[in-house]
Amino acid sequence: MDPKQPDPKKASLLRSTSLLLAIPSLLVISPLVGLFLGRFADRWFKTEPRLTYAGLALGFFAAIREIHLIIRRVKAEQESARRR
């Protein structure tokens, strides 16, 4: 079996869709991960609740950063598809 290479335009659309699909879960889970890591660090260093807040803030920042990166890649993808 020798499968054909997929159509570049369809592949680009598929890639953009899959990238955008990752946004909702990352938006929700990243702050939660930050919160739990912060709580864990707080218990470890006995600094409640400072590291929890810091972890939550970092989590939000991580979510925004991941989404920013994804959107940049999707934009680059669209730009590339337009050039073809």
CB atoms within 10 A of CB 58: 19
What is the distance, to the nearest Å, from the Cα of residue 20 to the centroid of all Cα atoms in its chain?
Answer: 9
CB of 75 vs other proteins, minimal distance in Å: 9
Give residues in contact with other proteins (CB under 8 A): 1, 3-6, 8, 10-12, 14-15, 18-19, 21-22, 25-26, 28-30, 32-34, 37, 55, 58-59, 61-63, 65-66, 69-70, 72-73, 76-77, 79-81, 83-84
Closer to other proteins at the Cβ: 53 or 62? Answer: 62
Query: Alpha carbon of 83 to those of 5, 7, 18, 19: distances in Å?
Result: 19, 15, 21, 20
